[in-house]
A and B are shown apart, each in its own frame.
Chain A
Amino acid sequence: MSDLAIDVRGLRKTFGSKVAVDGVDIAIPKGEVWGFLGPNGSGKTTTIRMLCGLLRPDAGEGTCLGFDFRTQSEQIKRETGYMTQRFSFWEDLSIRENLEFVARVYQLPKRRARVAATLERLGLVKRQRQLAGSLSGGWKQRLALAACMLHEPQLLLLDEPTAGVDPQARRDFWEEIHALSARGITVLVSTHYMDEAERCDRIVYILNSRVIARGTVAEVIARSGLTTFVMEGEGVRHLLEELRNAPGVDLAAFFGAALHVSGTNRSALERALAPYRGRPGLNVHEAPVSLEDVFIHLQREVHS
């Protein structure tokens, strides 16, 4: 067996005339946590569904956990935990019944003990008879993660697991992910949050059904060739329109109260910003390029 948990090449999927995924390659070494990023509708969910056998690829080859992902999806399913974007456990079953169902379907030994341990770990022992549908978003997400971890999979495919979840729950969730990764479990997680992307070993950025950037966060940022200046202070709110169209400025956007101005040509960017330097009350300084700048820049580039 290779050291890659996922090793697929040339993944392609069309729905009618619409190409959802086109030529996607993903190779994730075992035990790593990879982030899967991209705007809505770019093909993240479709890719994940193909990996766990829920969609038949039109083209592509490769393996998941050493099994051919096109023909051996039954074996892959046994070793994979898939968490859907939308809560997809049974809302008219109680928390306990949901876990027991999962345990039965996977034919897990010591079912009762395992379910009890999971309830204990989730802190849901007292609420185990509550219907899953009555849980809040954060609890649903924790239940879903616990349920898809119940059979101790080697690979976790998580589709936007933290969408609509509060910051504390997100933090807890990521701690759990890192703990799993430390135990050798491979995780592919799609997300829209940049802070989550930064917690991944590597990221894959997919846009319009194609992978357009990949690597560690630092690599992706470095490869973009962007330079970012931050402008703060008086009157900065009125500068956006001027700067957006200035030569040398590829990207101008507010992050909080600060205006981020980025460009791939450093000297042109500096020339564009020169008139603003030294204005009273206005502070212009260089800052590290953020992942978000890179993605927005990539999106613009592809669209133009």
Chain B
Amino acid sequence: MKHFSLARAFAVLVKEFIQMGRDPLTFAMIVGIPLVQLVLFGYAINLNPKNLPTAISIDDPGTFARSLTAALHNSGYFDIVEETNSPAEARRLLSEGRVSFVIEVPVNFTRDIIRGEKPQLLVEADATDPSASSYALAAFSELASAALRDDLVGSLAVRAPKAPPFELVVHRLYNPESVTQYNVVPGLLGVILTMTMVLITSLAVTRERERGTYENLLAMPATPLEIMFGKIAPYVAVGYVQVTLILLAGLYIFGVPMLGSLTLLSVALALFIIANLAVGYTFSTVAENQLQAMQMTFFFFLPSILLSGFMFPFDGMPVWAQWIGDVLPLTHFLRIVRGIMLKANGWAEIWPNMWPLIIFMSAACGIALMRFRRTLD
């Protein structure tokens, strides 16, 4: 009696598949959500923003000011949209958010450089969003030096900035052009799975309870394990369909490479998908109705997005936040999927993130099973 009957689990599985096919909303969620989110966020999210609106205030008609303006423009980071001679006006533009940067070239800039008086070049940045301005600011210093170096020739060569006594060599590995999509698309794979998988199962059992069919299901001889298996297995297949869609779109729309082993990724995906389904299943055993199930899903979803390293660098978080992040399956899956897709990671490299996934999955399944109510009490 206690043993697991594949036939009974299969009965629930078939039922679940039929119901899934009849529910247009579920179907929309399976296909619609991944594609819409991928295209939307794939195009929208840019961690290396360019063409930032910039105001420039030039009090000096000299050559160097003009060279600087041209260099800023050519860098692609700065889009000079305003020219003004009033610092007050420049500050107003900043505070109204019409520009992100104000660059002030002081009076006699050119003359002072020639005299070797080190004039001050002021850059004011709207730093409310640190990540938006950081790339451009980092580029600025090098940019200005380079612009002037071309002008400081002949007798002025002594004023040219000296080269550092060493040469800095930077290799941007795995994503040399800092293409945001390379990072975001694999990340979205995990985010989309987290959202849809948790939501789908959290609704699966609460729906039965709301419609009164739960009582009937419990009155039949199916055991909790069989019911759980039957309810989770169809959505594992759904998860793989979503993954296929996302990977194909990632490859053909955004050109994100797949360097590692698909088989290895599939194994990691199985763990990750089941882990999320089990979380949703646990929610459904706690929630009284579908609305509550939905709220719990978002309660889980938000930290997953914010603390997993999808949106913000994991290493930049305080230790306690990293602990929370370490508990979430998305954190580990992100490292695995980015590792496999972008770095061609093998089994050995992903293992440190595989075992936490395995533990999380087992724990989630265990809790879901324990929480499953065999009675209507």
Contact = CB atoms under 8 A, between A and B. Distances in A.
Q: Is the interface of B mostly helix, strand, loop or mixed?
A: helix
Contacts of A49: 215, 376
Contacts of B19: 90, 92-93
Contact of A52 (B23, B214, B219, B223): B219
Nearest to B23: A92
Interface in A95-120: 97, 100-102, 104-107
A91 B216 CA distance: 13
B221 A84 contact: no
Contact of B14 (A55, A86, A101): A101
B218 A106 contact: no
A32 to B, nearest CB: 22
A89 B216 contact: yes
B8 interface: yes
A142 interface: no
Name the residue among A88, A91, A102 with the largest chain B CB count within 10 angstroms: A88
A51 B214 CA distance: 17
A74 interface: yes
- The range of chain A's interface size is 20 to 34
Given A104-B7, A104-B10, A104-B14, A55 B376 contact: yes
Contacts of B12: 105
B88 interface: no
B8 A107 contact: yes
A227 B213 CA distance: 46
Given A89-B213, A105-B220, A55 B377 contact: yes
A84 B209 CA distance: 13
A77 interface: yes
B340 to A, nearest CB: 39
A69 to B, nearest CB: 12
Contacts of A77: 219-221
Nearest to B222: A105
B1 A54 contact: no
Contact of B220 (A55, A91, A102): A102
B5 A97 contact: no
Contacts of A104: 7-8, 10-11, 14
Interface residues of B, number: 29
Contacts of B221: 74, 77-78, 105-106
A50 B216 CA distance: 14
B219 A55 contact: no
B215 A54 contact: yes
A53 B23 CA distance: 32
Interface in B213-236: 213-216, 218-223
Interface string B44-86: 0000000000000000000000000000000000000000000
Contacts of B23: 92
Contacts of B1: 74-75
Contacts of B263: none
B375 interface: yes
Contacts of A107: 5, 7-8
A82 B219 contact: yes
A88 B1 CA distance: 25
Given A101-B15, A104-B10, A55 B375 contact: yes
B44 to A, nearest CB: 36
Interface string A49-91: 1001111100000000000000000110110101010111111
B11 A56 contact: no
User: Lowest 7 A-B CB distances belong to which pairs?
Assistant: A104-B11, A88-B216, A82-B219, A105-B11, A88-B212, A105-B220, A86-B212
23 contacts: A49-B215, A52-B219, A54-B215, A55-B377, A74-B1, A74-B221, A78-B221, A82-B219, A84-B212, A84-B215, A84-B216, A88-B214, A89-B213, A89-B216, A90-B19, A92-B19, A97-B15, A102-B220, A104-B11, A105-B11, A105-B221, A107-B5, A107-B8
